[in-house]
Structure 1
Amino acid sequence: MKSFHVAMESLHSPSKQRCIAAANKSSQRKKKRRRRKMKRLNATMRRLQVETNEIRKEQEIIRRGQREVREKFEAIHHECEQLRRETDLITKQSLNTQLRLGLMFQILRARESNDFNKAACLTQLLRELVAKQNNQ
């Protein structure tokens, strides 16, 4: 039994108690450090989440803007094609008008010079040209 009492007394010795107290303080310090680290980590995580959400919103705004620009570009491209077609049509109409005016002028010259055969041929040609253009 003495050995038990001796062991108990050795646990209650001041040096042992200091060691136990120091160990407790050390573990408390570690817990506090861990808590501080966790608080910092949580704060960093919250800040990162906020930044991520802001970036996500900005990216969505950019995507919307790109979509709008793409739609405007497509509308402008379509309008450009339509203008090109209209220009081609006007050019063809202008050429046809020039051709008809040329034939009419030749008809007038032929009539002035009393060349009625030539005038009749040119008139027939003009009629065929006008009919062809009306069919198109």
Structure 2
Amino acid sequence: MAPRKIDRVGSKSQTEKKLRVRVEAKRVKTEMGKVREEQECLKDEQRKLITRFDEIAKQCDELKQETEMIEKQSAITRAKLILMFGILKARESGDLVQAANLTALLREIVAMEEENAIVDEAKDEEDP
């Protein structure tokens, strides 16, 4: 009978140890659940940031294209103004041949611009 008492004492401490282990396991599981939730939140935020960065990169590319287009238009406008100034100077000096040549060149540039505008409009209509 004495061994039973020893077993009971031993089992009581083992039962307490098992109980502590179970409590600790539940606590760890709860903490792991919280960590998983936090990780999911972080992943969602990361996805949102990646999407936002992609949008920003796309907008940056669009702005670069618009800037290039404005630079080209500015260069063409500058060239036309130079031609117009040359036409005025040629007329003032009485050089009608030079004025006619410069006027023809200006007309060609304007015609090319109009053709490009028509082509661009057709491309815009084709793109959905």
The equivalent residue for 1:82 is 62
**How much identity, in percent, do the aligned residues show?**
39
> Which of 78, 98, 103 is residue 118 of structure 1 equivalent to?
98
Q: How much does 1:30 deviate?
A: 1.8
Q: What is the RMSD of the two structures over their aligned residues, measured on CA atoms?
A: 0.9
CA deviations 1:102-129 (Å, max 9, x no partner) are 0000001111111111111111100111
Which residue pairs with 1:53 in the alignment? 33
Query: Partner residue of 2:78?
Result: 98
Number of aligned positions between the proteins: 116
Paired AA for residue 28 in structure 1: R
Unaligned runs of 5+ in 1: 1-20
Q: Which structure has the larger Rg?
A: 1
Paired residue for 2:5?
Answer: 25
1:55: Cα distance to partner?
Answer: 0.1
Task: State the TM-score, normalized to the length of structure 2.
Answer: 0.87
Runs of 4+ residues over 4 Å off in structure 1:
none
The corresponding residue for 2:19 is: 39
Q: Does 1:108 align with 2:88?
A: yes
- AA in 1 matched with 2:86: Q
Cα distance in 2, alignment partners of residues 95 and 134 from structure 1:
16
